[in-house]
Structure 1
Amino acid sequence: MSLLKRIKKCLTGANQTGDNQSSVMISKNKDIFIRFDPQKTAPEISEREVEILKDCWNIVQRDVAKVGIISFVGLFETHPEVHDAFMSFRVVNTSDTEYSAILRAHALRVMGTVDKCIYRLDNRDKLRELMTEMGIRHKNYSVKTKFIDLMGPQFISSIKPHLETVWTDEHEKAWDNLFKLMCYYMRKGMCSI
């Protein structure tokens, strides 16, 4: 069993079903096609969606490390080509313990960014600045823009089990819109270099 599957099994108590492929937008040949027009207006998030996101985030924060790790394990399983885009995962000689620590640290950084974005929905200029700078950093790390949109669907599939008693289509749309907004500004930053 791969290290990623062992980590996921340890966290969830279950094996990966392979069903995550349908939660990610891909073409039949598994290539991702993203067209970005920096002149297009940023995606919108309604006040109701902001309320939903903040309420959900209060619940998700209880298991934020677990959600982050599951998101990345799922991402690496469904899109193994993304794994090497992460500098910290390129180290060849890491033990399972070291790899798990690197994965956890990166997952927590990403969850910290989600946290900042949720609370900056009240000040969209600060959210724009944060994610544009994040895009510039990721471009400097040589991350491909086609990988940017993959995190949202993985994150959503990871938080659903934590919110199953309240989850509705409205929740799904709110989270999808948040990640579209985050990705929009991130791609804008990546294109600005």
Structure 2
Amino acid sequence: MTANAVVSPIPRQDSAGPSTDPVTAMVQLVRDSFTVVAPQAEKVAEFFYATLFSIAPATREMFPVNMQVQRSRLLRALVHVVQMVDRPDDLIPFLRQLGRDHRKFGVIASHYEAVGMALLAAVKQYAKDAWTDEVERAWAEAYTIMARAMLEASSADEGPAWWPGTVVERLRLGRDLAIVRVQPDFAVPYHPGQYVSVETPQRPRMWRYLTPATAPREDGLLEFHVRAVQGGWVSRSIVATAQPGDSWRIGPPMGRIRVDRNAGREVLMVAGGTGLAPMRAIIDHLAQWGENPRVQLFYGGRVRPDLYELENLQLIASSNPWLKVTPVLETESKIAGVERGTLADAVTRHGAWTNHDVLVSGSPQMVRSTVSRMLVAGTSLDRITYDPFTVD
């Protein structure tokens, strides 16, 4: 199982009081035992992969030589699944997407069995006295649910495991930012707001999640906005060395961020840095129609260069009255209409947005902070959509 950088989980909306949802004994046991091992998460991940490669040596070829990033991805996946384990309407679609995505690695049914054995062994090793027969059964049951959903989706998917594509342009916008355009051999069937995983020749077997920043085009061209993040092996190599002619592999589309034009609700978009990409793709898509739900976009960064797409967004808004763009900066700026502070500050300053569908995208830290503050301000969790995998 893969995922992205580890961040603290977003608090559950019911954390301030008793839950009104039924929480099974299995869910509670999994959560409680995960809390015990979480402080030693890096060691848990190391033990997991050592065990997996011991009992299923063939799986080692699926992973990069350097496992540092991969260990973080496992932890991020576990945090996300443990958070969602009692929300099957959210968890099962996510697991199905993950199952389809794992086809690119050549994963087969026996690999899921090996992963389950390694996962339980790793949690047991660090849960120590908290690991009981009851806890082991709970983890086994939870993993069986996860693996079944992933396997069923993988078996049912008749599309390709990945799409070949060629870099046709890299536009360097700054020291750590680039726009990269890739022409797939065949159109990738994504909807605006979804993300895909990519593998580049500079970093073989190190798949990185990127979000197309434009709506699907007739020619299939994909545009990615890539920031070189600290410690980001793939993002840094893309920004610095991606060249026209490079052959990329593109994994199946994933993600829940989208706008339903027929829902009858206004939309609040909150985007930080290159987290703008899914919002930009949705806006690009909506601009095909004259009438849309009202969309308010808070587009934020620390300094002015972080708002690299602001002028283009303002141009779109000038001819589309349903769109309002509000820039947000943490530093001083002379931009007209800019709001000061973090995105969490700016958004919650305007209330709870109770009549809006809320979409949030950016770094894990920004997503966590914004969603947490909105929950405290009174926004309903079921109105907020964000995807967990957005950075290296």
Report whether the alignment pairs 1:175 with 2:142. no
1:113-170 deviation per Cα after TM superposition (whole angstroms, max 9, x unaligned):
1211111122112111111111101113322232122111111111213222122100
TM-superposed deviation, 1:107: 2.1
Aligned to 1:37: none
Report whether the alignment pairs 1:76 with 2:40. no
53-62 vs 104-113, which moves further:
104-113
Q: CA RMSD in A?
A: 1.5
Report whether the alignment pairs 1:110 with 2:74. yes
Aligned to 2:381: none
| Structure 1: 5+ residue stretches without partners | 1-45, 90-98
TM-superposed deviation, 1:77: 1.4
Aligned to 1:122: 86
Report whether the alignment pairs 1:54 with 2:31. yes
Give the letter aligned to residue 94 of structure 2: L
| CA contact 1:50–1:121 (8 Å) conserved in 2 | yes
1:157 to 105, 121, 125: 121
Name the CA distance, whole Å, in 2 between partners of 1:157 and 1:75: 10
| CA contact 1:120–1:127 (8 Å) conserved in 2 | yes
Give the letter aligned to residue 130 of structure 1: F
Normalising by structure 1, report the TM-score. 0.65
| CA contact 1:65–1:104 (8 Å) conserved in 2 | no
Aligned to 2:13: none
Aligned to 2:345: none
Normalising by structure 2, report the TM-score. 0.33
Give the letter aligned to residue 104 of structure 2: N
Helix, strand or coil at the partner of 1:114: helix
Name the CA distance, whole Å, in 2 between partners of 1:149 and 1:161: 18
2:111 to 143, 147, 161: 147
Name the CA distance, whole Å, in 2 between partners of 1:161 and 1:191: 33
Aligned to 1:136: 100
| CA contact 2:97–2:150 (8 Å) conserved in 1 | yes
TM-superposed deviation, 1:61: 1.1
| CA contact 2:36–2:130 (8 Å) conserved in 1 | no
Aligned to 2:305: none
Name the CA distance, whole Å, in 1 between partners of 2:156 and 2:98: 12
Helix, strand or coil at the partner of 2:129: coil
Helix, strand or coil at the partner of 2:67: helix
Give the letter aligned to residue 136 of structure 2: E
Name the CA distance, whole Å, in 2 between partners of 1:148 and 1:161: 20
159-168 vs 55-64, which moves further:
159-168
| CA contact 1:145–1:190 (8 Å) conserved in 2 | no
Aligned to 1:25: none
Aligned to 1:66: 43
1:64-90 deviation per Cα after TM superposition (whole angstroms, max 9, x unaligned):
121111111111012111212x1x43x
Helix, strand or coil at the partner of 2:106: coil
Structure having greater relative contact order (Cα 8 Å, sep ≥ 6) = 1
| CA contact 2:53–2:59 (8 Å) conserved in 1 | yes
Name the CA distance, whole Å, in 1 between partners of 2:75 and 2:146: 13
Name the CA distance, whole Å, in 2 between partners of 1:168 and 1:162: 12
Helix, strand or coil at the partner of 1:164: helix
| CA contact 2:98–2:150 (8 Å) conserved in 1 | yes
| Structure (1/2) with the larger helix percentage | 1
| Structure 2: 5+ residue stretches without partners | 1-22, 158-392
